[in-house]
Structure 1
Amino acid sequence: MLHILSVTLPFFALIAAGYAAARCGALPLGAIPGLNAFVLYFALPCMLFRFGAGAPIGQLLDAGVGLVWGSCALLVVGATVGLARRRGMLWNDAAFGALVAAFPNTGFMGLPLLIAILGAPAASPMIITIALDLVLTSSLCIALSRLDGADAHGPARAARQALRGIVQNPMPWAIVLGGLASATRLALPGPVERTIAMLGDAASPVALFTIGAVLARSALLAREHRASARVGEAMGSGVRALSPARPADLLSVAAIKLLVHPLLVYGAGRGAVALGVPLERSALAVMVLVAALPSASNVAMLAERFGADSGRIARIILWTTVAAFFSFPLAVGWVR
């Protein structure tokens, strides 16, 4: 366990450093989108391309990994939405609560962390999970979030917006290009390869630092919103504070993310193997640990864009990130 903690501690320490830097003002809030853009559009795509190009194409097309991960994602989304709807939530908040429960922080955190623990072969199953989360899970939850609208074309419009977001997201393209490079055994010119390597190497520390900064910004903006809403109510401006999320709601979604999701993936994987689905034990171990990661930090920005309670989503992300410092090493020890 001490060995696992020695590997995971620096990753969480970088998240804490980013949180502290933004919270105390050393990192201006206006600089956070620039950090996020660097990771999303430059560093992380280069990392994904390198791992995709270096992996055998058969591992990137592992149907067993896709079947288990995709089916578990759908189950988590369905269960979380159902629980939220029974509590009286609108579709918008229920859908983004489901997304934050089913979408782990694989790109910014999982790739560097699991490769440090399990080695480079862990990248291939993670690339498959990232692709499914970007294409399947996100699109489904965005479409569900539009069911509140009176416009009958709301879900269709949301589906088009989700498709546009996928096309504009560089990560799926990096995965596709890496797979093509692997299939064709493409060798890039030396200077191009070294440039991609340098950007890919920068992805891990900058991404982790950015996660902490994004969490701090969400907390500061939520506090400012509550303060301005109280002033608006006192002045009779009609501005009202958002209803605070109940701790039971936050705790249940966090528990689904950190406990139910990995156990479901483990059970589904063992069941698939028993039914004859070709699935390597090492790939199942990677999927279980991916499911045990905290929620993806970009879900809060998506929730804000679509008018959901982004403060609730940000708190869930913060709770799962803090709790994962203790739960993730236990998951690694259990899987290993």
Structure 2
Amino acid sequence: MLQIFLVTVPFFALIAAGYAAARGGALPLAAIPGLNVFVLYFALPCMLFRFGAGAPIGQLLDAGVVLIWGLCALIVVGVTVALSRNRRIGWNDAAFGALVAAFPNTGFMGVPLLVAILGGQAATPTIITIAFDMIVTSSLCIALSRLDGADEHGGAKAVRQALRGIAQNPMPWSIVLGGLASATGLVLPAAMDRTITMLAEAASPVALFTIGAVLARASVLAREHQASAVVAKAMGSASALSPKAPLGDVLPVIAIKLMVHPLLVYGVARAAMALGVALAPSTLVTIVLIAALPSASNVSMLAERFGADNARIARIIFWTTVAAFFSFPLVAGWLHGAP
């Protein structure tokens, strides 16, 4: 257990450093989108390409991982939406709450952390889960979020927007290109390979620092949001903003993400293995640890874009990240002793 803590501490320390830098003003909030662009469009795609190119193509097409991870993601989305919807939370907010419950921070945090703990063998199942969550889980939740709309074409429009977002996201394409390089045995020119390697090596520290900065930005914007609401209410404005989400709207989603999700993946994987699905023990450990990661930080930006209660979503992301400092090593230690 202590050894796992020693591995995870530097990762969470970089997140804390990014949070402190943005919250303290050393990193201007206006600079955070630039960090996001570097990580999302340059560093992480190069990291994923390298992992994909270095893995046998058969491993990248592991149907067992897709089946287990996909089934669990759909269950988490369905359960979270069912538990979340009430008079305060409609389809839009419930859908994005489900997305933060089902979508771990795999790209920014999971790839470097799991490779550090488990070695390079963890990269392939991690890549598979990233692709599924980007293409299926995100699209499903965005489509569900439109069910509140009066426009009868809202669902179809949301699906088109989700597909357009996937097409514009470089990470799935980097996975595809890496897989093609693996299948064809492509060897890049030395100068290009070195450039990709340098960008890939920058991905881990910058991505972790960026997570902290994004969380700080969300916290600052939420505080300014609340201040505006107080002023508007004092002036009798009809457009006063809603109060902070009650803990009852936040804590269940946090529990689902950090406790229910990894236990569900473990249970479904064990059942699938008992039914004859081929799954290596190392792959089982990897996908359970992926499920134990905190919520993906980019969901906050999606929620803001689609008009959901971003303060609630940012709060869930923040507290899953803080709590994961303790819960993730516990899950890793439990897996070490599990049969």
User: Which TM bucket (shorter chain)?
Assistant: over 0.9
Show CA shifts across 1:155-180 (max 9, x none).
00000000000000000000000000
Q: Percent identity?
A: 75
Q: Which residue of 1 aligns with 2:301?
A: 301
What amino acid is the match of 1:280?
Answer: A
Q: Which residue of 2 aligns with 1:79?
A: 79
Q: Which residue of 2 aligns with 1:130?
A: 130
Q: Which residue of 1 aligns with 2:157?
A: 157
Q: What SS does the corresponding residue of 1:313 show, helix, strand or coil?
A: helix
Q: Which residue of 2 aligns with 1:24?
A: 24
What amino acid is the match of 2:166?
Answer: I
Q: What SS does the corresponding residue of 1:41 show, helix, strand or coil?
A: helix
Show CA shifts across 1:155-214 (max 9, x none).
000000000000000000000000000000100000100000000000000000000000
What amino acid is the match of 2:258?
Answer: L
Deviation at 1:86, TM superposition (A): 4.6
Equivalence map 1:199-210=2 (5 Å)? 199-210=199-210
Show CA shifts across 1:54-106 (max 9, x none).
00111100000000000000000000000012565200000000000000000
Q: Which residue of 2 aligns with 1:101?
A: 101
Q: What SS does the corresponding residue of 2:202 show, helix, strand or coil?
A: helix
Asked if 1:175 is matched to 2:175, the reply is yes
Structure 1: runs of 5 or more not aligned: none
Q: Which residue of 1 aligns with 2:278?
A: 278
What amino acid is the match of 1:237?
Answer: S
CA distance in 2, matches of 1:163, 1:242: 31
What amino acid is the match of 2:332?
Answer: V
Structure 2: runs of 5 or more not aligned: none
Q: Which residue of 2 aligns with 1:218?
A: 218
CA RMSD of aligned residues (A): 0.9
Deviation at 1:229, TM superposition (A): 1.6
Deviation at 1:242, TM superposition (A): 2.0
1:151/1:261 Cα in 2 relative to 1: closer, same or farther (>3 Å)? same
CA distance in 2, matches of 1:266, 1:87: 34
Equivalence map 1:1-336=2 (5 Å)? 1-86=1-86, 89-336=89-336
What amino acid is the match of 1:248?
Answer: G
- What is the TM-score when the length of structure 2 is the normalising length? 0.98
CA distance in 2, matches of 1:301, 1:268: 31
Q: What SS does the corresponding residue of 2:244 show, helix, strand or coil?
A: coil
- What is the TM-score when the length of structure 1 is the normalising length? 0.99
CA distance in 1, matches of 2:226, 2:3: 43
Deviation at 1:251, TM superposition (A): 1.0
Tell me the matched-pair count: 336
